[in-house]
Amino acid sequence: MPRQSLPVNQAPSPESAAAIDSETLFRRYASFVAGFLYRLGAREADLEDLVQDVFMTAHRKGGYLPGAASPTTFLARLALETRLSEKRRSLRWQLSHHEQLATHTVGPEATTPEHALSLQQAAGHMQQALDRMEPTTRAVFVLFELEGQDCDAIASGLEMKVGTVYSRLHTARKEFRAHIADAQRDAGTTASAERPIGARKSKP
């Protein structure tokens, strides 16, 4: 499979029950794979090479074959394996892309500077919560909560039992809620610390 440039702003097409060759997979799902890898913590500078690796693997496997896994969960498993291999090769797993994540997660449009800041902060909290999760748990959470995949397709795509998917999803949700609660508590503490001495407090 020759090296190709990533499609720009191309949304995945509807899931298909038919076989899909690697060239068509790339055209339809390169954007999805790039976004999925990004949510798994891949640096933006590495995305193109990682996406190419994923689709080279898909090419060697003969493309997507119909089954319980959807095209996206099939590719998600390959992307997860690629990300873990890349992580093992690198001693550094530095994640400093919260501003970039805002565009990938909530879109580039913001109506006001305050709205833009709010979106950036929300995306930052989301990424921080994802960063704390074990990679497979993180993949399940992203596929279910952010990509809308069902548990059966996730189980087949990631080659795990459905019960394991539910268990990891439960764990991920618990960790996510705990992180958001911590972030909100820290924000409240910061706001209290910054309040001028003697300032009136609003009533609850």
Q: What is the pLDDT of residues 85-102, one digit of tens each?
A: 876 665 444 434 444 544
Structure-model confidence comparison of residues 145 and 163, the more confident one? 163
Domains contained in the chain, number: 2
> Is 4 within a domain?
no
> Is 123 within a domain?
yes
> Is 53 within a domain?
yes
Instruction: Find, among 180, 69, 59, 80, the residue nearest to 129 by Cα.
Output: 180
> Is 129 within a domain?
yes
Q: What is the pLDDT of residue 9?
A: 43
Same domain, 120 and 188: yes
> Does the model's pTM come out above 0.85?
no
> How many CA atoms lie less than 13 Å away from 52 in the CB half-sphere?
10
Q: What is the pLDDT of residue 137?
A: 92
Tokens matching residue 187: 């924000």
CB atoms under 10 Å from CB of 59, counted, come to 16
> What does the alpha-carbon distance between residue 119 and residue 129 come to, in Å, rounded to a whole number?
15
Least confident of 42-56, 122-136, 161-175: 122-136
The CATH number of residue 36's host domain is: 1.10.1740.10
Q: What is the pLDDT of residue 188?
A: 64
The CATH number of residue 159's host domain is: 1.10.10.10
Q: End-to-end CA distance of the chain: give it in Å, rounded.
A: 62
> What does the alpha-carbon distance between residue 68 and residue 149 come to, in Å, rounded to a whole number?
12
Domain that holds residue 171: 111-193
> What does the alpha-carbon distance between residue 24 and residue 75 come to, in Å, rounded to a whole number?
13
Q: How confident is the model at residue 173 (pLDDT cuts 50, 70, 90)?
A: very high
The residue among 54, 89, 124 that closes a domain is 89
Tokens matching residue 163: 């019960």
Same domain, 123 and 181: yes
Q: What would the mean pLDDT of 73-84 be, rounded to a whole number?
A: 92
